[in-house]
Amino acid sequence: MRELDHLREIFQAALNRIDPYQMMIDHIRLEGETLVVAFDGERHAVDLTGYNRVLVLGAGKASARMAKAVEDILGARISQGLVSVKYGHAEALSRVEIVESGHPTPDENGATAALRMAELVRTADAQTLILNMISGGGSALLPCPLVHDENGTSVRLTLADKQDMTRCLLACGADIGEINCIRKHISGVKGGRLLELMAPARSLNFILSDVVGDRLDTIASGLTSGDETTFQDALGIIEKYRLEEKAPSEVIRALNLGAQGHIRETPKPGAPATELATNVLIGTNQAALLAACEKARSLGYNTAALTCALTGESREAAKFLFGIARDVRKSEMLVKKPACVIAGGETVVTLSGPGKGGRNQEMALAFLAELAKDEGQGLAIHFLSASTDGSDGPTDAAGAFASAEILGQARRAGLSMDACLRENDSYHFFEKIGYLLKTGPTMTNVCDLHMVLIT
């Protein structure tokens, strides 16, 4: 089907635009002994002669590719380095060590990486420059359970506590901001606490955004920025999703102690440690969306970019996008045919069954269910929902397609959309008819893209 090939091409163009290696190479250069950084009108110049050590650190799905670019730019000027990446996301590096770790649920490798990174930054002084590579996934890939033992109050969270808390949050439908609020307050490095460990060293932090709104205090749980959330906010999220009995008891105890003032809050914007950090946003969902629009236009489609902030339940987002597609098909509302309508963001799935899938596959399945109700059976409408990191939820698929032709194949195969939606089993549904999108690890991550072609 030509339209499905076009959807693949449009998505690939978006991935090409947000390749972290190329973005770093294009916008960072060495001029003599000065490191020059220029992104979107923002310029920074760092005189390397003022430092006797350069450390390269990082966490996230794109951090190894970012570190590779820094190695190619700085070479032997790098003294030491360590980055934590998701399994399968490593690069061949010569001066920066890579630790592959668990995502979205943290594991022992990630905990070891966090401890070693904390030990390394504690050796930094005022003559140390730290270059941090931060991207989506960094929060799970750098788990450092909170340990507090002061003024008669003792808390020692474990990796198991963090793993169980992460599972609870993923299952209840909490969004990334809510998940990261709690992660910050049960961590020894997140929510700006890494900055406190790095002081008095200066840091230049390159950040690839995987959160709607590109808030630096939310990306990777704000490793290098002040935190505006509080222990009380974290308790509010626990109450909102009724996790009091499901979450680990020691986590609940730690959050309560923090809210009562017995555990020090995360550093807030303007705290002394934050003054030592320069944060540079290098890539966003908007950049990917605009590249997708440009490619769609080159293929002959009139384009409409809806938003970079699509959130909420995947199924509801699917209904919204299908409604727009139907309006365009019927009356060319919003954009003339042939049309490509694109949205970006990150939705959630509230789990109700034991199946396998991710938010993008669930959205594609819900979109297909809307096609089945359509009086035209989805004629002339083709859809792709995919994650830019190449792994949608705990699967090896980036997302999935939906169209009238796919609907016909599913019916001939005897597949039940309603049953698979009830079981959250979108992966096996699309796997059986061959309409998963599998890209492999993309080494980048700026949320998701949802693309509809109307011809």
Kindly list the domain boundaries of the chain, sorted by start residue: 21-283, 286-454
In which band, very low, low, confident or very high, does the pLDDT at 152 lie, cut at 50, 70 and 90?
Answer: confident
Q: What's at 299, amino acid-wise?
A: L
Q: What mean pLDDT value characterizes the chain?
A: 95
In the prediction, which pLDDT does 416 show? 97
Smallest CA-to-CA distance from 100 within 139, 59, 133 is with 59
Smallest CA-to-CA distance from 342 within 284, 290, 387 is with 290
Residue 147 has phi, psi (to 5 degrees) of: -125, 125
| Residue 329 pLDDT > 90 | yes
Check: CATH 3.30.460.20 for 286-454? no
Mean pLDDT of 345-349: 95
Q: What is the pLDDT of residues 202-218, one digit of tens each?
A: 999 999 999 899 999 98
In which band, very low, low, confident or very high, does the pLDDT at 104 lie, cut at 50, 70 and 90?
Answer: confident
| Residue 412 pLDDT > 90 | yes
Mean pLDDT of 279-284: 95
In the prediction, which pLDDT does 235 show? 97
Q: What's at 378, amino acid-wise?
A: G
In the prediction, which pLDDT does 40 show? 83
- Distances from the Cα of 338 to the Cα of 49, 289, 380, angstroms: 57, 18, 9
In the prediction, which pLDDT does 156 show? 95
In which band, very low, low, confident or very high, does the pLDDT at 324 lie, cut at 50, 70 and 90?
Answer: very high
Mean pLDDT of 420-433: 98
| Residue 418 pLDDT > 80 | yes
In the prediction, which pLDDT does 376 show? 84
In which band, very low, low, confident or very high, does the pLDDT at 147 lie, cut at 50, 70 and 90?
Answer: very high
| Residue 439 pLDDT > 90 | yes
Q: How far is CA 118 from the centre of its chain?
A: 23
Residue 324, token pair as written in the block? 């727009």
Mean pLDDT of 81-98: 96
| Residue 372 pLDDT > 80 | yes
Residue found by looking up tokens 């890539």 in the block: 283
In the prediction, which pLDDT does 1 show? 76
Residue found by looking up tokens 């034991």 in the block: 354
Decide: helix, strand or coil at residue 51.
coil
* Residue 116: half-sphere exposure toward Cβ, Cα within 13 Å: 18
Mean pLDDT of 178-182: 93
Architecture of the domain made up of 21-283 = 3-Layer(aba) Sandwich (3.40)
| Residue 52 pLDDT > 90 | yes
Q: Report d(CA 57, CA 74) in Å as an integer.
A: 14
Q: What is the pLDDT of residues 287-313, one digit of tens each?
A: 999 999 999 999 999 999 999 999 999
